[in-house]
Amino acid sequence: MSTLTKSNHMGRKISRIRELKDMKQEALAQAMGTNQQTVSILENSEDIDDEKLAEVAKALGVSVEAIKNFSDEGVINYFNSFNNFNDNSSLNSQCTFNPLDKLMESVDENKKLYERLLKSEQDKVEYLEKLLKAK
């Protein structure tokens, strides 16, 4: 079997997409309103008519073109196109502020709020003491 024949096997492409989506044949069958045996037969078919392909694509949540153009190499290239996470360049986002300054601003703000609360409580105590002396 040549690689050209293998890459155009529609059933195999559907199977690989289904597997990449971590979906079992039963789940795909249910989404299509059919049974697992039908999906199995479909995945073993080299050619699939456009109407059935559209139905499968909808159930898988992909486009018909995605199924027709699918290749394992394409998937590998897609994932390899992301930056290597060991490369610090992807993690080097520049902050426009100093995080410690922001933290200290927050501490100062909390301190001011606490002082206002304390003053309010002291005023309340003074008022209550005044009421008690008046009786």
What is 3-83's CATH number, 1.10.10.10, 1.10.540.10, 1.10.260.40, 3.40.50.720? Answer: 1.10.260.40
SS3 (DSSP) at 39: helix
pLDDT tens-digit series, residues 28-66:
999 999 999 999 999 999 999 999 999 999 999 999 998
Tell me the C-alpha to C-alpha distance, in Å, between residue 62 and each of 14, 31, 35: 10, 13, 20
Q: For 98-119, what is the mean pLDDT?
A: 93
pLDDT value for 5: 42
pLDDT of residue 2: 47
Q: Which residues contact 124 (CB under 8 A, 6 or more apart)?
A: none
pTM of the predicted model over 0.75:
no
Q: Please report which confidence band the pLDDT of residue 113 belongs to, taking 50, 70 and 90 as the band edges.
A: very high
Give me the residue spans of the domains in the chain. 3-83, 96-134
